Structure 1
């Protein structure tokens, strides 16, 4: 009895937690639209304020806890963005929200069988959820002979939904015409050339991911997804997979992509977003989606070349050939005695080539060879060049598999002094009279040495801070001790952390995903005001994120 009473008292006295969001439904919206959003999670205080990384998006809490009105401007940048909630205790975690070009709708139950399937006009994005274990969702589409139909699911990769989905196209008489489990990652995409006009059913279900011992279909309130269905333009990847310093590919007039139903819109793409990691997004108003692209420091090379040798750094977009076909091969001039870094990306770009790369020295000897350690990994290796001269770089898929996603991007360049600054948290809350701690990890390469120097942008002048590096191990996180504040008012707001090492340009510290739009580039600081003895603590004024500069 006493123990139960004590636990009850502790629960009553517990401080409110920061707002957390576990899922969003819908998980995105069309540019130029207004939608009602439901957020699953924990909100001890209501209403909350909402911050979005896309300045074209504003959110307003509604009367019902967890409900928001979302307004997306017509000029908002397409692709992923981040949303997080703020209250008197601080800022919670961020969640992805996807902005697109197509009409959008919400799935509704029941829709487990073709007889109860929701009719969907094309093109469209359906925001849905597999609500419980064993759940199946079906949607009816009208297709015409000769069309190329695309159905693509976004769930695990960008939304973080804990499921491995299966996507099927079913005929009116119940036959599965085509099925896809994984296409360029966990999330499925199916392509179907329509041979007969009529009604067809898109059916989807999922298994748990990471996998467990259950063989039942997976479901739950956090099993949200976005299903794109179209017979219009749908991009699968940029081509080439890297953009040169001028921001355009080798073909003037626009950025190009490969995919389905692109026709004369294939070269109309533009760079719509980028991030500190050197990744960008290519999109067009006529496309159903955006695709990632690397931002190169030199004009990229496409395919094999028999011309003059290239200088490093080399950016090469390569395609897999059938078994027995010669590998993609280029010649690059390297200098003996120096270290070089060889990278090959496919899986992280949503592609499915298994790139095996090798470097052959001027004497014809294999200097280095490397392929991914697993199917869901890329190549990244550092090696030393022994002699000056022209080296051959070869790229091949040893499985001999070809297809629209069997492409990769390879970079070969010198290992130069460089660093990356990673935030240890996306929000920090201080206590009265105490310093708040924010860890920042500085990863150095290329022989770079020296302590990092930091700059905090957006912090009030009356908030002192100091950087405390680990004296024994510079690879360990630097602890930024922030506060206690000397400001008469409490502070609640976003702060950007910049780091500089040696004479290299300063870099913005970030955390989260490297995917464009999903990097967290600000830390939300919640710092109490300096208090006179005996004076009650003041709550910080929370800035309205809707009032953007």
Structure 2
């Protein structure tokens, strides 16, 4: 079966691409995002053996067209449609010899501008260029370009406003920098400081006590610490700084929506009016998440769509809450020392998985999961899983009866933003598949192997069949199988063959894994671990030329 790619935009900028001696490489885009319904010059940095290049975007709404060239950095015009979905778009460049890895480009609602040097001090602090229009939100696209670099930006704020400043750098842009942010008052005093609110990226929220010009100061260190004690800088230290004094969202209750029917969300954030505090979601059929914003001043919320009931912890309760498997629960540890408990009825030998998410969602809860019997005796307690501060527990009941799943903060802290998502599901055998390759290059008349790594979970023993979708004419991928008790349990190699008459080709294909119960696509490597993309790039090049068959080389 040939797989169709309904969410792919393919923008061919070179109408006749000749074979190149080298593949392209895309290191980054700057600026790394744009406002919906806008056009913007974007600098592509990498290696481009020929220009213009062709550009592939992971979904409709964003297109790029070439403008000029300047050394290793080339400029293209981004065109973002008015109905483009908010969020991350994955971009790659390609030619007849191969393709780059995927790089992120973010579409938002707020107005955007680019950092202008010098802006290292209070007197040089860069202003919002749209300030005269009473604009309340702005995205500064910047770069800590050299060692010792400090960037400062200012925004006019009224007494009583909440000023929200949020940096995207390490996550989701993949910048190798740990940025520190400070908020500086109109008279030059540091009033707030943050460096790791969300992964390595900072966020500050501050109630402005007096009207005036408030300043955001950024500086950074290498994401991987070294002996450097100075502020670090590099062309690759790019970031997006969102600053607002308008209505903006922090989270919703619940933190997930069910795939069937409508879900009414209760919204939380800053500077919200009563009409901003509720929103009804009807997920698009087949979608894995929904993204929305309440206005052009708000950062969008990304909310997963799940195939199970969704429950919100009742407010002001002290009792244990009964739930049935499977379920996704949203709760909040509102006060210091508080813990939330949920009761589940299990049969003897029945297993369940409890997964707690909070810190990885950008919230401060350092979660602990504890499984207890009805009398409060601890049966299992976990506070970290796989070097993260979020938790997953696999539990098997020894007898019929009720068990309690309890959530608390490791340090006994609590607050309005100590929010969590707790998913409880029966333990069922499952698997995940990935490949270390983002592309496959093959000559006509030749074959290549594609390695696929397999992670079997919860005693998965079934045979997994691997194949390919979306292949062009002349390309064949032999089906491969992974068996739990053989060497193929953890890795298989798919053999891809191009016939001798296969035409040159550049485009995406997908690798599929199927055990007759679960069908999924093989994930490819990305700079952002929490994201998933499945389009591996296939390049078919002309066959090797046979010197004996070249004109003038006929045998006498």
Report what 2:442 is aligned to. Answer: 430
How many angstroms apart in 2 are the aligned matches of 1:286 and 1:413? Answer: 37
Residues 309, 326 of structure 2: 8 Å contact kept:
no
Report what 2:553 is aligned to. Answer: none
2:396 to 348, 365, 384: 384
Residues 271, 282 of structure 1: 8 Å contact kept:
no
Report what 1:544 is aligned to. Answer: none
Structure 2: unaligned runs, 5 residues or longer:
1-19, 551-556
State the TM-score, normalized to the length of structure 1.
0.87
Residues 281, 516 of structure 1: 8 Å contact kept:
no
How many angstroms apart in 2 are the aligned matches of 1:95 and 1:440? Answer: 22
Residues 197, 364 of structure 2: 8 Å contact kept:
yes
Residues 336, 412 of structure 2: 8 Å contact kept:
yes
> What is the CA-CA distance between 1:18 and the residue it aligns to?
2.0
Question: Once the two structures are superposed, what CA deviation does each residue of 1:311-340 show, in whole Å capped at 9, x if it has no partner?
Answer: 112322222243443x11121112211222
Structure 1: unaligned runs, 5 residues or longer:
1-14, 537-549
> What is the CA-CA distance between 1:429 and the residue it aligns to?
0.8
Compared CA separation, residues 291 and 272, structure 1 to 2 (3 A) = farther
Residues 320, 341 of structure 2: 8 Å contact kept:
no
2:123 to 115, 120, 134: 115
Report what 1:187 is aligned to. Answer: 201
Compared CA separation, residues 279 and 144, structure 1 to 2 (3 A) = same
Compared CA separation, residues 287 and 242, structure 1 to 2 (3 A) = farther
- Asked whether 1:78 is paired with 2:86, we answer yes
How many angstroms apart in 1 are the aligned matches of 2:386 and 2:429? Answer: 29
Question: Once the two structures are superposed, what CA deviation does each residue of 1:30-59 show, in whole Å capped at 9, x if it has no partner?
Answer: 010000000221112221100111211111
Report what 2:310 is aligned to. Answer: 300
Compared CA separation, residues 272 and 38, structure 1 to 2 (3 A) = farther
Question: 1:55 is paired with a residue of what secondary structure?
Answer: coil
How many angstroms apart in 1 are the aligned matches of 2:532 and 2:427? Answer: 25
Question: 1:64 is paired with a residue of what secondary structure?
Answer: strand
Paired residues for 1:235-274 under 5 Å: 235-246=249-260, 248-249=262-263, 251=264, 255-263=265-273, 264-268=275-279, 270=281
Greater shift after overlay, 161-170 or 123-132? 161-170
1:322 to 324, 335, 342: 335
1:497 to 500, 511, 514: 511
Question: Once the two structures are superposed, what CA deviation does each residue of 1:421-476 show, in whole Å capped at 9, x if it has no partner?
Answer: 22332211113432122222232334333332234222123212214456732332
Report what 1:546 is aligned to. Answer: none
> What is the CA-CA distance between 1:420 and the residue it aligns to?
2.0
How many angstroms apart in 1 are the aligned matches of 2:32 and 2:409? Answer: 35
How many angstroms apart in 2 are the aligned matches of 1:104 and 1:447? Answer: 50
Residues 485, 529 of structure 1: 8 Å contact kept:
no
- Asked whether 1:163 is paired with 2:148, we answer no
Report what 1:18 is aligned to. Answer: 23
Greater shift after overlay, 305-314 or 438-447? 305-314
How many angstroms apart in 1 are the aligned matches of 2:101 and 2:285? Answer: 22
How many angstroms apart in 1 are the aligned matches of 2:294 and 2:511? Answer: 33
State the TM-score, normalized to the length of structure 2.
0.86
Question: Once the two structures are superposed, what CA deviation does each residue of 1:110-154 show, in whole Å capped at 9, x if it has no partner?
Answer: 111111121113311110111101001111211111111111111
2:371 to 359, 368, 386: 359
Report what 2:554 is aligned to. Answer: none
Report what 2:6 is aligned to. Answer: none
How many angstroms apart in 1 are the aligned matches of 2:446 and 2:42? Answer: 37
2:48 to 43, 52, 55: 43
How many angstroms apart in 2 are the aligned matches of 1:167 and 1:216? Answer: 16
Compared CA separation, residues 153 and 204, structure 1 to 2 (3 A) = same
How many angstroms apart in 2 are the aligned matches of 1:95 and 1:275? Answer: 25
